[in-house]
Structure formats: structure tokens, C-alpha cells
Amino acid sequence: MDNGNYYERLDRFLRNVLNDLKLSSIYKLLRKGNVKVNGKRVKDESHRLSLGDVLQVYYLGDSSKMKRLEETRELVPQKIPLDILYEDDTTIAIDKPAGISVHPGKGIQIITLIEGLLAYGREKGFEPHPVHRLDKHTSGVILFAKSPASAREISRLFREHEVEKIYLTLVKGCPQIESARLESLNEGILEVLEYSLEKRYREVSLLKVRLHTGKKHQIRRQMAQINCPVAGDDVYGDRTFNRNFKKASGLKRYFLHCQHLGFTCSSGLKIAVDSELPEDLLKVLASIE
């Protein structure tokens, strides 16, 4: 998917979403800087939106206090390019690009991956069911089931840690041990991953991570705990380092990619899906060689 393709003008999108407001009121919101796109104020009504962009609109509510418009829309099937890595009668695997969310979240999101799958499924005669998630800025393999029964089975495999999950990540520095198993408690839950060093660079290291559990932000949190935060991660990592590294390497997000998912169905069918590093991350590696 090329999520750099423009979706439509900002003012036109706002007119569709805020259909209870007068056009003059929408332009007033823009002039006053009450509209943010991906966290940055945008006043230009002709600003072009891209797939995956997130809007926040601040407006006066009934109490005359400034409020933030949250995501309230229903899921709408939307035709978007999908890079299908694997598909059979029960399962479909997509090569997810960075910058697009799987589901709507905070703010007004232009299009989400599930909406693209809903449109594709409508054409092919199935309804997609998410069985796991990737964060908005994480790229790589993501699975969807094609029926409730398939969703229950694959969800069980994830829950019982019977899905092989392998990620590639670039981290600050280099772990003291080239390969290790990390275990940590998070809210009473044991989180486990294994990593191995793929290549060491001057300031960073490329690691292969085998995720045994798979909780929210697990790789980013656990790598930060051993003082090797994921490059580009400003939540758990080193913001000063990230700012300098991004400027030098051209990295636009945190460096995390789901390279492989594999599992065995109850029928005995073995499914293995792989995703190559996307162009943006390959360019980062080339720049630091």
C-alpha cells in the first residue's frame, strides 16, 4: 500500500465529518488553529490528507468550554490497496505499512486497515475478524480471520503462545549479551521474549526478536529496560538520541517490523507468512552502513 497517496483536502473532509457545522464555522476552526493533523496544527484548508492521518478538532461544546472531537463514526468499508501476503478460505495475512492504524482510535482517522479489509471482504464474500494487532507505526505481517470460528481458533493459538512471532528492530547501543531471553512482570503478567544480534553498527544494533507473549508495546518496553530502546521510540526511549539519529539516518518512525508469523491449524495445516523490510527501513540501514 502506498499510504502517501493523497486522500482529499482537509476542508472537504471536515465538511463531511462535521456536517452539523456551517462552512464558515469550519473555516473559523482552521483559522484559529483548532485543527491538528498528526498532532500538528494545520490552518491551510487545502492541506492534503493521506491514509493513516489522524485529526483532532477542538470546538466549543454546549457548556461553552473547548472540547475535543473524538472518534465516533462507524466502520465504513473503503477500497484501498492491500499487499496480501497469504490467503486461504479461513485466513488472510496483510503486509501492513507503517502509518495506518488497524482500528479507529483517538481522533478522526482517515481510513483504517480494517475498513480496507471490509471492502475487500465484501467483494470476496467474507467478513474480516482481527485476531491480533500491530501498532500504527509498526509494519509487517498482520493476520485476519475470515469467520468467527476461524477467529476463535487463531485467537486461541495467540493466547496459548502457539504462534511463532519474529520481529526485526533497530535499538540504541548494543546489548551486553548478543542473545538472551528477557522476562519481566507487567501488571502481574509475565512477559517473555528472546533476542539475537543480527548486525552491530556504530551507534545502533539490528536485532531479531522472537516474541513469546505479545503484550502491548512489549518489545519497546523490554528493550528499554535493558538500556537498548528501539530507535525512534520517544515513549520508552531516548528522545535526544532519537532526534539526532532521525536527522542523520532519515528514520521517520520507530524501527520495528513484524517479519514472520507461523502457526499450525487444528487441521494440521502449517501456515508461515513472511514480510521483507519495507523501503523506508532499508534506506535507514543503508544510510548507517
Q: What is the CATH number of the domain that holds 243?
A: 3.30.2350.10
CA distances from residue 223 to 80, 220, 252 in whole angstroms, order as listed: 34, 5, 20
Is residue 136 situated within a structural domain?
A: no
Is residue 98 situated within a structural domain?
A: no
Is residue 83 situated within a structural domain?
A: no
Strand partners for 263: 271
Q: What is the DSSP letter of 71?
A: P
**End-to-end C-alpha distance for the chain, whole angstroms:** 27
Last residue of a domain, one of 45, 69, 93: 69
How far is 166 from 208, CA to CA, in rounded Å? 7
Are the beta carbons of 255 and 170 closer than 8 angstroms? Answer: yes
Strand partners for 209: 167, 195
Is residue 96 situated within a structural domain?
A: no
Q: Which three cell numbers, joined as nine digits, stand for 195?
A: 533476542
* Amino acid identity, position 243: R
Q: What is the CATH number of the domain that holds 42?
A: 3.10.290.10
Q: What is the pLDDT of residue 38?
A: 82
Name every residue whose Cβ is closer than 8 Å to that of residue 33 and which is 6 or more positions away in sequence: 41, 43
- Give φ, ψ of 165 to 5 degrees: -125, 115
Last residue of a domain, one of 69, 85, 113: 69
Name every residue whose Cβ is closer than 8 Å to that of residue 108 and which is 6 or more positions away in sequence: 17, 54, 55, 56, 57, 69, 71, 73
Q: What is the pLDDT of residue 65?
A: 44
Is residue 105 situated within a structural domain?
A: no
Just list the catalytic residues. 135
Domain residue limits at 16: 6-69
Checking phi first, is residue 90 left (phi over 0); if not, alpha (psi -120 to 50) or beta?
alpha
Last residue of a domain, one of 44, 69, 94: 69
CA distances from residue 253 to 6, 32, 55, 58, 81 in whole angstroms, order as listed: 20, 29, 18, 26, 21
Name every residue whose Cβ is closer than 8 Å to that of residue 174 and which is 6 or more positions away in sequence: 197, 200, 205, 228
Q: What is the DSSP letter of 87?
A: E
**Chain CA centroid to CA 118, Å:** 18
Are the beta carbons of 10 and 48 closer than 8 angstroms? Answer: yes
Q: What is the pLDDT of residue 2?
A: 36
Total domain count for the chain? 2
Q: Which helix (H) or strand (E) holds 8?
A: strand 6-9
pLDDT along the chain (289 residues), means of 10: 52 73 81 85 85 71 46 70 95 94 68 90 94 92 95 92 96 95 89 96 97 91 96 96 96 97 91 97 96
Residue with cell 499450525: 264
How far is 14 from 55, CA to CA, in rounded Å? 9
Q: What is the pLDDT of residue 63?
A: 42
Identify whether residues 165 and 52 lie together within a single domain: no
